[in-house]
Copies of this chain bind each other. A is one copy, B any other.
Amino acid sequence: MGHLVSARLKVGVIGAGAMGASHVATLAAGVPSAEVTRVFDMDTARAKEVASSVGAEIADSADALVDGVDVDAVVIASPDFTHVALVLACLRVGKPVLCEKPLALSAEEAHSVVDAEVALGRRLVQVGFNRRFDPGFRDLKRSIDDGSLGEVRVLHGIHRNASSSTSTDDAGLVTGSMIHEFDTFRWLLDGEIVGIRVESPIVGGFRDPQVATLWTSGGQMITAEVFVNAGYGYDVRVEVVGTGGSATLEPRTPVVRRIAGSAGSMIGSDFVAHFIESYRLELAAWADAALTGTVVGASAWDGYVANLVAASGVRALGSGAREDVEVPERPGLYA
């Protein structure tokens, strides 16, 4: 039976915060094709706690983890500013890497990853846009792809957090939160975002919520609201409107309580819990692909373009005007 065991992907996880710890737990509890062998975090105590919970070891440094002989592939869940350097390190040693979004802090930085992959001549990078693996989002995409909505004309997106400790400034809302929408829309529509405007009802102070308008290469318009201090819970919804009908993704827990004059279902506030199945499917798909030398999900190119749209979004937030998104030609590697 040894052949099965040898097929298991040995994974090193960099970053043991909420996201990293969740990925470690999910890999251990839900992804048979992988095993977590090493964990690194600047906070060694945290790294130890997370590593030991699944029988893994800690690494002395992120670089040591990437280079380790007991690491076949790497998950990056460390702070955003570390992403690019770590992804490039993985590319240098030819190891598959799943990097949390955003791929980079800027489009330029993200493009250096694309350049490195192109130079390498093969793809190793997946960017953690987990919604592509969410059963609800996949069902929504199916409604588009099977033609039942006719020609798509408009999308509406809602993305709300109860509160946020990470998206805490105007630009951060675009580059850290709304970036999920950018990838979602590109993926749902198999198209590019060609223009963006970002505005807020708030003038003076932290501009939250933000309301974006986007235009696509397919001739659609999109409205997207991101509100990271919405208070009541974590809430992600999308409506796709076509000439043949509309499809709305609106997740709801299956239990309705009728108590004291109200019929209601619970809304959680934890985005990891909300999307936990998508993370599991993402990690499983990534590990399975890594074992066969392929890459699925959002590519480095997709990560770059998301950064590119975000950059235009941040500019738009400042200019108050529509900013174009100039997407360069896609390298053949990502065809």
Q: Which residues of A contact B (CB under 8 A)?
A: 1, 3-5, 7-8, 10, 27-35, 37, 54-57, 70, 136, 139-140, 143, 148-150, 153-154, 156, 158, 160, 199-203, 209, 211, 213, 215, 219-221, 223, 225, 227, 229-233, 235, 241, 243-269, 277, 280, 284
Partner of A248, one of B55, B221, B232, B258: B258
Contact status of A246 and B262, CB under 8 A, knowing A154-B211, A227-B154: no
Residues in B whose Cβ lies below 8 Å from that of A4? 35, 37, 54-56
Given contacts A1-B56, A154-B209, list 4 more A-B pairs with CB under 8 A: A4-B37, A232-B246, A232-B259, A246-B257
- Bound state CA distance, A252 and B256, in angstroms? 11
- Interface pair A252/B263, CB less than 8 Å apart: yes
Closest 5 CB pairs of A and B: A264-B264, A245-B259, A136-B254, A201-B221, A251-B254
- Interface pair B227/A245, CB less than 8 Å apart: no
Partner of A30, one of B5, B230, B266, B284: B284
Contact status of A5 and B7, CB under 8 A, knowing A211-B154, A277-B277: no
- Bound state CA distance, A255 and B235, in angstroms? 14
CB distance from A209 to the nearest CB of B (A): 6
Output the residue of A149, A229, A262 with the most chain B CB within 10 A.
A262
Residues in B whose Cβ lies below 8 Å from that of A143? 255, 257
- Bound state CA distance, A251 and B230, in angstroms? 24
- Interface pair A201/B284, CB less than 8 Å apart: no
Residues in B whose Cβ lies below 8 Å from that of A263? 252, 264-267
- Interface pair A213/B230, CB less than 8 Å apart: no
CB distance from A281 to the nearest CB of B (A): 9
- Bound state CA distance, A24 and B94, in angstroms? 33
Residues in B whose Cβ lies below 8 Å from that of A32? 27-32, 34-35
- Interface pair B30/A254, CB less than 8 Å apart: no
